[in-house]
Chain A
């Protein structure tokens, strides 16, 4: 098997995640889809690392994870406070930024 398949898989997962972001309205699920996209990227990075025979790709994937962790912490805090004020986790309810 050609290891390029890992990249195809990553692309597929990324696209699925992105579509999920567009389709789902529950903020938590939406957020999970973002995580899926990040993971797809990580997979691609790891495959690149193997491809080029150095560890920089893995290091970047590592940083991605750290940043994703920070993002999840803040994002979930936002969702919780949003739910507290609006009693809803739907992103469509937070549509004040329109005319």
Chain B
């Protein structure tokens, strides 16, 4: 076995690691695409990213591997989760396609693209792997730093500017300018009295709850659920739990039974 050939092959340990983790990463990626709930997708993606970090380490990119874990899985994915929570953690994405032919086209394009890429790589004649032993001889991070601060120093500075711009941009996009002074508690109370719409505090949710009750609306005397009893945010997200007619029927039967037992005539009607 020649030296060149030796450099182009990896150890058995790495091969085992590649096949095990590689398959896991593909599954994670597929789950990211196919999971109904955004939060599940995010978790799968985080897993895939950690596997990628391991691969980076295996390929001698120690710095990148650590950065991948810290920045991607630690910061970016958490940012994703924050937004998912903001938008509604349980809001499931319907997987039925609305655009005509979109799924077929996507599948066709994806398949073709993948085949072409793999064919391209197969044709590329990548036979020699030099390894990073020589460039890492003076220390891996030091070698990276030398490149970043000499050859790539302009790009590096510009990415700094880019990050600052992105931070300012995110703030500008999400910032809501307060155009008037926030109303105080007293003013709110006075306004409520003045308008006379809802003088007492809002009714509590889910009097007949079987869950933790926050997303279950309270029922009015005639048995219809009242929107007032559920938080505005939940209503906006459409996360108000449906109080089905069946449950109300159950309750009705329960009341009737107890009324019969207690001999209350008027309640039986």
Residues of A within 8 A of B (CB): 1-9, 11-20, 22-26, 28-29, 31-33, 35-36, 39, 42-43, 46-47, 49-56, 58-59, 61-63, 65-74, 76-81, 83, 87, 89-90, 92
- Indicate if the CB atoms of A39 and B49 lie closer than 8 Å: yes
* B32 with A33: CB separation less than 8 A: yes
Query: Of residues A4, A56, A72, A78, which shows the largest number of chain B Cβ atoms within 10 Å of its Cβ?
Result: A72
A6 surroundings in chain B (CB, below 8 A): 18, 55, 59
A50 contact from B9, B33, B132, B170, Cβ within 8 A: B132
Flag if A14 contacts B117 (CB, 8 Å): yes
User: Chain B's nearest CB lies how many Å from the CB of A71?
Assistant: 7
Tally of contacts, chain A with chain B, CB under 8 A: 241
Shortest CB–CB separation between residue B216 and chain A, in angstroms? 21
Residues in B whose Cβ lies below 8 Å from that of A32: 32, 41-42, 45, 80
- Measured between beta carbons, the chain A residues less than 8 angstroms from B26 are 9, 12-13, 16
B 221-239 to A, binary, CB cutoff 8 A, 1 in contact else 0? 0000000000000001100
Query: Quick check: B93 and A26 within 8 Å, CB to CB?
Result: yes
Task: Please tell me if the beta carbons of B75 and A20 are within 8 angstroms of each other in the complex.
Answer: no
Given known contacts A5-B18, A58-B61, A77 and B169 CB-to-CB distance under 8 angstroms: yes
* Binding site secondary structure of chain B: helix
How far, in angstroms, from A2 to B22 measured CA to CA in the complex? 14
Cβ-defined contact, A36 with B83, below 8 A: no
| A7, A8, A39, A89 interface centre (most CB from chain B within 10 Å) | A39
- Given known pairs A18-B113, A20-B32, A26-B93, the reply for A78 and B173 (CB within 8 Å) is yes
Q: Known contacts A1-B10, A3-B8, A67-B162: does B170 contact A76 (CB below 8 Å)?
A: yes
Q: Which residue of A lies closest to B117 (CB)?
A: A11
Is A59 a contact of B126 with CB atoms below 8 Å?
no
Who on chain A is nearest to B156 by CB? A63
Question: Is the beta-carbon distance between A76 and B79 smaller than 8 angstroms?
Answer: yes
In chain B, residues 1-51, which have Cβ atoms closer than 8 Å to a Cβ of chain A? 8-10, 12, 14-15, 18-19, 22, 25-26, 29-30, 32-33, 35, 38, 41-42, 45, 48-49
In the assembled complex, B114 has its CB within 8 A of some CB on chain A = yes
Q: Are A24 and B71 in contact (CB under 8 A)?
A: no
Q: Is B155 interfacial (CB 8 A cutoff)?
A: yes
Closest chain B residue, CB of each to CB of A47: B59
A62/B148 in contact, CB under 8 A: yes
| Beyond A1-B12, A55-B147, A89-B38, 10 extra complex contacts between A and B, CB < 8 Å | A1-B10, A1-B15, A6-B55, A15-B113, A15-B114, A17-B29, A18-B110, A19-B106, A50-B130, A51-B126
Given that A74-B173, A80-B86 are known contacts, is A13 also in contact with B25, CB under 8 Å in the complex?
Answer: yes
Chain B's nearest CB lies how many Å from the CB of A64? 10
Taking the nearest CB of chain B, how far is it from the CB of A47, in angstroms? 6
30 A-B residue pairings within 8 Å (CB atoms): A1-B15, A2-B9, A6-B55, A7-B121, A8-B118, A11-B117, A13-B25, A16-B29, A16-B110, A19-B107, A20-B32, A22-B110, A26-B93, A29-B32, A39-B68, A46-B55, A46-B59, A46-B61, A55-B135, A59-B144, A62-B148, A72-B79, A74-B166, A77-B173, A79-B83, A79-B87, A80-B173, A80-B174, A83-B87, A89-B87
